[in-house]
């Protein structure tokens, strides 16, 4: 099963200054099957959601010419604008971002939108009220996504509210929609001291994609593959046992001091070897 898994590359793994055509061609040359677009909290990437038909058509043409689809979207902008926040303006902006992201995905042929599991801003405290607001706004979002055939999938993150799959499953079970699923990050699970195998089994019928990265305890970004503590072989074995056949997305960040093409190519080969061992 894992002799030839479907691998995607996180957009931020390559330098920001690259044109879309160059970015997609480099990912393809490095052995990837697709790319995951990033819509983070920066104004530059949020502006993409306001593109007109001409800009969207141009990117679709580049995708077709390079034969490198944008299969998934990492919607991490809700770190800045969480949909359960006690601040009305943050919630309003968060829902606006959600709606425009779903429409953007629909227009671009993106199948899965990964939603970061944050209910409030970093300086806020998660409460029963914030969790309820998150759930109600998530349900509204699922209604739009389902009408357009776009899957929303919640990622386990680095805060208590959403640091495990069992916590995320609360919302999946409550909303009961095939258009709301989970998008586990095995690096985040490891960094948050979760039992990765146990957590993947808990979510086994609802996993639509997997984020693959290395981490150490408490550090969830920019840990080179092989320098962290993630047990990739064990995680891949569990995914094989629960019959997961979805895409894997290698999440990493560009390094201005190194050859990023070599880095992403090596990452693909390194992770593929662990998958084959499983």
Structure tokens at 57: 């058509």
Asked if residue 163 has pLDDT above 50, the reply is yes
**Spans of all domains in the chain:** 7-277
Q: What is the mean pLDDT of residues 135-147?
A: 98
At residue 115, does pLDDT exceed 90? yes
End-to-end CA distance of the chain: 9
Distance CA 9, CA 249 (A): 5
- Dig out the tokens for 156 from the structure: 């386990």
Bridge partner list, 38: 74
Cα-based torsion angle of the residue sequence 272, 256, 158, 171 in order, rounded to the nearest 10 degrees? -70
Q: How confident is the model at residue 5 (pLDDT cuts 50, 70, 90)?
A: confident
pLDDT at 181 over 90: yes
Residue 1, pLDDT score: 44
Distance, in Å, from the CA atom of 207 to the CA atom of 244, rounded to the nearest integer, reads 7
Reported as a pLDDT band with limits 50, 70 and 90, residue 14 is very high
pLDDT band of 3, cuts 50, 70, 90: low
Using the predicted structure, report yes or no on whether residue 2 has a pLDDT greater than 70: no
At 252 the three-state DSSP class reads: coil
Domain spanning 7-277, CATH architecture: Alpha-Beta Barrel (3.20)
CA 242 to chain centre: 21
- Please check whether residue 8 is in contact with residue 38, taking contact to mean a CB–CB distance below 8 angstroms: no
For the segment 88-107, what is each residue's pLDDT rounded down to a tens digit? 999 999 999 999 999 999 99
User: Mean of the per-residue pLDDT values for the chain?
Assistant: 97
Predicted pLDDT at 4: 62
| pLDDT tens column, 223-274 | 999 999 999 999 999 999 999 999 999 999 999 999 999 999 999 999 999 9
Question: Nearest CA to 145 among 117, 110, 182, 184?
Answer: 110
The predicted-structure confidence for 24-73, as pLDDT tens digits, reads as follows: 999 999 999 999 999 999 999 999 999 999 999 999 999 999 999 999 99
CA 213 and chain centroid, separation? 11
């Amino acid at each position: 099963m894992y002799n030839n898994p479907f691998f995607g590359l996180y957009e931020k793994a390559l330098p920001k200054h690259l044109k879309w055509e160059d970015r997609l061609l480099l990912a393809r040359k490095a052995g990837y099957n697709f790319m995951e677009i990033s819509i983070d909290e920066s104004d530059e990437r949020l502006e993409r959601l306001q593109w007109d038909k001409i800009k969207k058509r141009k990117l679709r043409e580049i995708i077709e010419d390079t034969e490198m689809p944008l299969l998934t979207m990492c919607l991490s902008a809700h770190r800045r604008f969480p949909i359960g926040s006690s601040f009305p303006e943050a919630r309003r902006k968060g829902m606006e971002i959600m709606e425009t992201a779903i429409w953007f995905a629909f227009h671009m042929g993106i199948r899965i939108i990964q939603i970061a599991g944050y209910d409030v801003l970093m300086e806020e405290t998660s409460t029963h009220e914030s969790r309820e607001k998150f759930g109600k706004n998530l349900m509204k979002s699922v209604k739009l996504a389902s009408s357009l055939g776009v899957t929303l999938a919640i990622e386990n993150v680095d805060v208590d509210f959403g640091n495990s799959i069992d916590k995320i499953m609360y919302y999946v079970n409550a909303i009961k929609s095939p258009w709301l699923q989970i998008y586990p990050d095995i690096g985040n699970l490891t960094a948050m001291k979760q039992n990765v195998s146990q957590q993947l089994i808990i979510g086994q019928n609802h996993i639509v994609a997997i984020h693959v990265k290395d981490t150490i305890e408490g550090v969830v970004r920019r840990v080179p593959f092989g320098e962290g503590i993630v047990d990739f072989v064990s995680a891949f074995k569990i995914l094989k046992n629960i019959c997961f056949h979805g895409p894997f997305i290698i999440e990493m960040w560009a390094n201005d001091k190194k050859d990023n093409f070599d880095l992403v190519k090596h990452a693909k080969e390194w992770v593929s070897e662990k998958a084959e061992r499983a």
